[in-house]
Each structure stands twice: as C-alpha cells, then as structure tokens.
Amino acid sequence: MPSLDLSADVVALTQQLVDIESVSLDEQAIADAVEQALAVHDHLTLTRIGNSIVARTELGRAERVILAGHLDTVPVNDNLPSRNDGTYLHGLGSTDMKGGDAVILKLAAELREPNRDLTYVLYEAEEIAAVHNGLGMLTTERPDLLTGDFAILMESSCAEVEAGCQGTLRVEVRTRGERAHSARAWTGSNAIHAAEPILATLRDYAPRRPVIDGLEFHEGLNAVFISGGVAGNVIPDECVVTINYRFAPDRDEAEAVAHLEQLFDGYEITVTDSSPGALPGLERPAAREFLAAVRAEVRPKFGWTDVARFSALGIPAVNYGPGDAAYAHKQDEKVLISRIEQCESALREWLGGTA
C-alpha cells in the first residue's frame, strides 16, 4: 500500500502524489495514503466521506479559511511515473493538481497554530461527470464541514489569483421539417436549411464583457455541435444545434436561459446542462487580506470551476494554485517547481506559519 511522507519538501511530496496513480473513480489508494498521513497529526479533526478527506483545525479563531484540491486525474497517457528535471516536475497530475494538493498537505501537517482556523479538503472525482464530484457530494451531504469565510481552490492558475467564474449553459435548438425523397424535394421541407437563422444569430452575436469587482469577464455564445440528416436521398426533417453559453456571474442561470429563449424565439429549445457562475467576492475582508498577502495578479476566471460550489454556499472563493492550465490533460503535463514553492510560502506566510 502506497504511503506519503509529509516531512518531505513540497516538491518531493508532489512527486510522491503523482506516483500514486489516481484516475477518477480509482482514488482509494491515494485517499488511504492521505488519510493515514494526516491521521498522526492530533491538531486536525479528520472526516472521510468516500474517497474525499476533510481535515479541520478547531482553534476557535475568528475566521476560517478552506483550502481545497481534487485528488483524481484524467486517464494515464504514458506519462507516469514522475520526473524532476530541476525546473519542471513532469507527469500526469503534476499540474492538475497534485502540486496544489502537496501545498495543502504540507500546510495541514505543519501549521499547528495558524492565525485562522483551516479546513483542508482533498476530494475525489473532479475530472468526470458532476454527479461523482466529491466536493459536490460534501456540499450536499456535509455542508457543516464546509463552513468558512473564504475558500481557496488550488486549481491551476500559474500562482496567480483567478476570481469568480463564468456560468455555463448548454441548450439544444431544434428545427423541424418534413421528409421527402430528395428527387422531389419540393414535396418536403428541409430542416437543415431552416437552421440558417440560428447560425446567423450566433455568427453576429456580440458577447457581453461586463466589469465586476474590477475584473473584465468575457461571455461567449457558440454552437458546439450540429447534426441533421436521415439518408443521402432524403430531405431531413430535423436539425439540432447544440449551443454553449458561457455567461458572466452578474447573470444567474434563469436569466441565461431567458436570454437564449429571447435570442432563439420561435425554435424548440431544450436545456441539457446548466451551472451557475460565481461572483469574484473580492470586496470581502478575507479576500482582501489574502490578495494583499500573496501579492499575485488577479484575473477573472472564464471557465467554470468548483469555486462556484463554494459561492453557492455563500463562501467567497478564488482559484490559486501552482499548475498551468495549458499543460492540464496533456501527455506532456508538467509544473514549474518554483511555482509550487511560491504558493506554499505565500500561503504559509499569510496563515501565520514560518515562511
């Protein structure tokens, strides 16, 4: 059974984590190792739910901060075991997001007297369908474990702060026609031709770029799939355009749906997927102090991330982690060693440990 040595430095610990294979739905070994490594630390209260682990200090501090990371990776792609070339640590999960997990575990083991109470969350199944997501499960089943004033999700952000996130909505917009033999096309009605105004609307759409808490978001409205057709000699009676709307967090899910209903008035619209955005929340005291401490650049987060789950609980949250999203899910996944060290030392300093 693999184990973890939390007394190793944060880079060596990242390497240990990478070398425990943990593809989504196969996280038991890594969760066991994490649980065992934290259990020896009596300043932490441990809870395990499935393959997700929550470790909390209970010091009665005025403020509580959550540090969270997922333990799973996308499938192995001939990119294990890890390799350290002195500048980069290479290997599956190095960037997404075991570098961040290593920072969390180092702080959990060593910050015995932090200036804020801390909740460390290491969870399963982020890389697959939302129904499996360990953080989602905790928010539903044990929200009491996730109370707090500020959350930091240590997802890949190049050690900069990504605040808020845009929502995402997927709808199918459908046209109908009438089948006929294509040699007598005029006896039918072509549903693919009828999709032309949908594409024209998409092509001509000017996405909003609202500024929220000083951050400029950038919406997007795009066809991600189109399909139609019955046979090579049949006038098609249906065409489906699947549209993904990425909406800024000043708009909620219902408003996003209403916007698409207005844009595609007169067509059949089916919502297939929807997740709300998250406001940056940078005006909250905990967020302001964090930003001042880490001295990192602050950018808006365009993609959807699990920070929205904290937002839904009323907890302001940011992405802040050593990985680089450009290397996530790639065969040549890697992480800059200096960024892992930078994140660890910035958080340690802010949370009142020795830097």
- Give the active site residues: 72, 126
| Minimum gap (Å) between residue 310 Cβ and a second copy | 19
Torsion of CA 273, 52, 12, 346, to 10 degrees: 70
Query: Bridge-partner residues for 211, per DSSP?
Result: 216
| Residues of this chain that bind a second copy (CB under 8 A) | 166, 168, 170, 181-186, 190, 192-196, 199-200, 202-203, 207, 218, 220-236, 239, 241-242, 244, 246, 273, 302-304
Residue closer to a second copy (CB basis): 52 or 168: 168
CA 60/CA 83 separation, integer angstroms? 41
* Whole-number CA gyration radius for the chain: 23
Closer of 146 and 235 to a second copy (Cβ): 235
If the CB atoms of residues 182 and 342 are measured against a second copy, the closer one turns out to be 182
Distance CA 316, CA 221 (A): 27
Q: What does the alpha-carbon distance between residue 198 and residue 218 come to, in Å, rounded to a whole number?
A: 21
Q: Which is nearer to a second copy, 140 or 270 (CB)?
A: 270
In whole angstroms, how close is the CB of 269 to a second copy at the nearest point? 16
Q: Are 126 and 69 in contact (CB under 8 A)?
A: no
Cα separations in angstroms, 168 against 46, 107, 333? 34, 33, 26
Record the tokens describing residue 354, joined without a space.
């020795």
* Nearest one of 99, 69, 78, 87 to 9, comparing CA atoms: 99
Smallest distance from the beta carbon of 221 to a second copy, in angstroms? Answer: 8
Q: Cβ of residue 232: shortest distance to a second copy, in angstroms?
A: 5
Helix (H) or strand (E) holding 256: helix 253-263
Q: Which is nearer to a second copy, 135 or 191 (CB)?
A: 191
Shortest distance, CB of residue 303 to a second copy, whole angstroms?
4
Question: 150: closest CA among 114, 102, 117, 124?
Answer: 117
